[in-house]
A and B are shown apart, each in its own frame.
Chain A
Amino acid sequence: MKTSERHAAFQAWLCAHLGTLVKVARAFAATDADRDDLLQELLVALWDAAPSFQGQSQASTFVYRVAHNRALNWKRARTRLLGRRTLHTEWTLLTAPDEDAATRERLEQLYAALRTLEPLDRTLMLLSLDGLSYAEMSEVSGLTANHVGVRLTRARAQLKRVLGAREEGHG
């Protein structure tokens, strides 16, 4: 992939899938600072992985794979320090949602509940909430569609349990 093609592909992916990266960052990182770090890492990962995109799968599947692979491996101070030093941009535009207070609280609770799931279940749940089919989730995760279904059913039940417990706690 030539530099100009990489640039163009990255820009196109950014326009179409930046929201996905933000959601992944929120689901895997609890604090604002960590969220910023992870979002930067996801963007760096997408940039680094761009030359390996062969067009054999859909761009959206590729972006999901890159984002989830990097998020699952996220805990590397080296890249985070590097990211902090070299990337300066308006992260707050993305990481400070402007939903109304009630929606924001519901979303925060949902993200907090997502973070209690096992990493692989979290990945599947995020893909499910984004509306991917079992076949697409299978393509991203490498699990069979049946396995995805079983894990997802249990993850969804656990998520509802956690959210229910939180609501009871508030009530």
Chain B
Amino acid sequence: MSSKIIELKDVNKWFGEFQVLKDISLTVNQKEKIVICGPSGSGKSTLIRCINRLEEHQEGTIIVDDTEISADTKNIEAIRAEVGMVFQQFNLFPHLSILDNCTLAPIWVKKMPKKQAEELAMQNLKRVQIDDQAFKFPGQLSGGQQQRAAIARALCMEPKIMLFDEPTSALDPEMIKEVLDVMVDLAKGGMTMIVVTHEMGFAKEVADNMIFMDEGRIVEKAKTKEFFDNPKSERTKLFLSQIL
């Protein structure tokens, strides 16, 4: 237990002149669930996007599953295949059926036989409870269903880590719960998860640790109970008082 899977050390990142990440250091253990919150523009999304290098950091080291991620990383695809990501806008492939969305990467990246990939996809679609929608196209599904399909698609790569970038922010209120239920189920199954979200109820239920970010810095990192009951920094207190 508690072996490191992600390690960030003094990570700095700039968008032009603007510094989005300032001296970020963070360690994530296997099976740990971390929820990152903070005001918009605080760098939370950028942080998790650096972990699978959808964004490049300029300073510091990021180590994912014993491989350092940098411009020299030869096989960034192999790392990405181990790190599932769920986006705010779902980003399903609209030209493919839900089933094909799920089997595309296993077949072409992991070279899995088609039949096996389809079985795996149906298994995961069942897990997120949309196996009856497998042959529809993304455009025919509701937002909540699309996001669950996106989670299933990521799961089909059998990732070691799952990153969630505000997965419920683009959803209608009544659909948020169905997505959160799937995520809770996933957390209970022992997945390592980093979740950027404003759903504090979800955070209280599943998170081991909470991170509060503001202006590119990690302002506070604490055990979940401590974070909500007894936040240390004034900025965190202010944020929590507004959001709860």
A and B pair up: no
